Structure 1
């Protein structure tokens, strides 16, 4: 069995309220083992037979839709993949940890489109491309950022869910 984390988008924001105990129970009924959650924002650790993470993400999204009635997206990463996403974040060492985020993408990043966007983006954020991630330092704060709107308008990145570097380090610690 391989240990994974699922980072769910749109959980406990807006009207998508979900008790983590209910989510754990639903996943355990679908052959996910050793299920535990980290904070109440859709971070789920679990063990599963090794399988492509995209398929596991689709399975989790289906369970949430079927059991709880709302759509979500789950970025699933193995411990090694999550550790690489933390290590590869170029802002993790000099940015404010609460402001340094990794945006986990549903699909691989179109690096050329992202680089064109980043070159022309006029916001205060620092941006860098990963493979299935975008690294962001929200140096002027997350709350007032216009980055998400600008990325949506430019159709860069696609479906994503973000976590700050502190949360990712906490999840890695729990993964062992």
Structure 2
């Protein structure tokens, strides 16, 4: 079973193409084992050859070298994703509109308070540790709550996956 699940930010949108076959190849070249991907949105399951943080940074650098753009690699253990899924604080009317947004770090209390006190027109939000939970009323594609807005207010970058995807990644890692 893979030890880690990497969520790579903003791939296969706009000009940032990252074929999943090449992502698996890069991860294997860097020494990862039990390598697989799930859908073409930057989800990598793997067991790193050493310290996961070191592997994640090496993967970022390898993607940048091969494809010419930088993207954050945010990884979690299956247990961490399971905990994030269980901690989702909102009623889930439709799992594809509810997200766990994995952050690159834990935002400051001040940033969290500022973010959570804002009124977003069609979303409800809550930060729990190094995860942001979002429930969109009309889907992420229609939202004004963009990655740029989130990073600017929280002071950390991140990437989101809907609850269906999070549950599937946990299942694939088990």
TM-score, normalized by the shorter chain, greater than 0.5: yes
Q: Report which stretch shifted further, 7-16 or 101-110.
A: 101-110
Q: Deviations over 1:62-100 (max 9, x none)?
A: 111122221100111111111111111112x53310100
Q: What secondary structure, in the 3-state scheme, does the structure 2 residue paired with 1:31 have?
A: coil
Distance of 1:121 and 1:150 partners within structure 2: 13
Equivalent residue, structure 1, for 2:109: 111
| Cα deviation 1:2-21 (Å, max 9, x = unaligned) | 61010001110111112111
- Is residue 58 of structure 2 the alignment partner of residue 83 of structure 1? no
2:32 pairs with 1:32: yes
> How far off is 1:120 after superposition?
2.6
Q: Is the counterpart of residue 97 in structure 1 residue 90 in structure 2?
A: no
Please name the residue that 1:57 is paired with. Answer: 56
Q: Is the 8 Å Cα contact of residues 98 and 135 (structure 2) preserved in structure 1? A: yes
Q: 1:156 aligns with which of 147, 151, 154?
A: 154
Partner residue of 1:42? 42
Partners of 2:150 and 2:69 in 1: CA distance: 24
Q: 1:140 offset after TM fit, Å?
A: 3.1
**Within-5 A mapping of 1:161-176:** 161-176=159-174
Q: Which runs of 5+ in 1 are unaligned?
A: none
Give the gaps of 5 or more residues in structure 2.
none
TM-score (norm 1): 0.89
What TM-score do you get using the length of structure 2 for normalisation?
0.90
Supply the RMSD in Å over aligned alpha carbons. Answer: 1.9
